[in-house]
Amino acid sequence: MAMAAIDFQLLANAGFPPATFKPGEVIFAEGDKGDKMYVIRSGEDVLSHGGIFGEMALIDGSPRAATARAATPCEVAPITEKSFLFLVHETPFFAIAVMRTLAERLRRSGGHG
């Protein structure tokens, strides 16, 4: 996972305009449209610096399954669907890193694999 986090952090610093959140502020709410994923540039939600979140709803087009809140002052890089598709197409390693993150989360949630 550490290798993927490093790559996602490089992505976060690659010119995507950041969004900032205060502790306790909602980044997205359960049921919201999943039109972006996020890379944490600084601070924490339930993840930490360099992690990604929000990718599942972006990938399958479903509404958000959970609410994400900033645990600390937080700066994130929102990745739109258009940018995500470009990155998957042009950078296969990015796609592999996202798949590894999803696989790790599935295993932790009790899924098999």
In a domain, 112, yes or no: no
In a domain, 110, yes or no: no
Q: For the domain that residue 85 is a member of, what is the CATH number?
A: 2.60.120.10
In a domain, 19, yes or no: yes
Q: Looking at mean pLDDT, say which of 20-24, 87-91, 92-96 comes out highest.
A: 20-24
Tokens of 94: 């990015």
In a domain, 15, yes or no: yes
Q: 79-105 burial, b if ≥16 CB within 10 A, otherwise e?
A: beeebbeebeeeeeebeebbeebeeee
> What are 34-73's pLDDT values in tens digits?
999 988 888 765 555 567 889 989 999 999 988 998 888 9
The pLDDT assigned to 47 comes to: 58
The domain total for the chain is: 1
In a domain, 76, yes or no: yes
User: Which helix (H) or strand (E) element contains residue 103?
Assistant: helix 92-108
Q: Provide CB contacts within 8 A for 12, sequence distance 6+.
A: 39, 40, 41, 50, 76, 77
In a domain, 53, yes or no: yes
Q: Residue 75 sits in which domain range?
A: 2-105
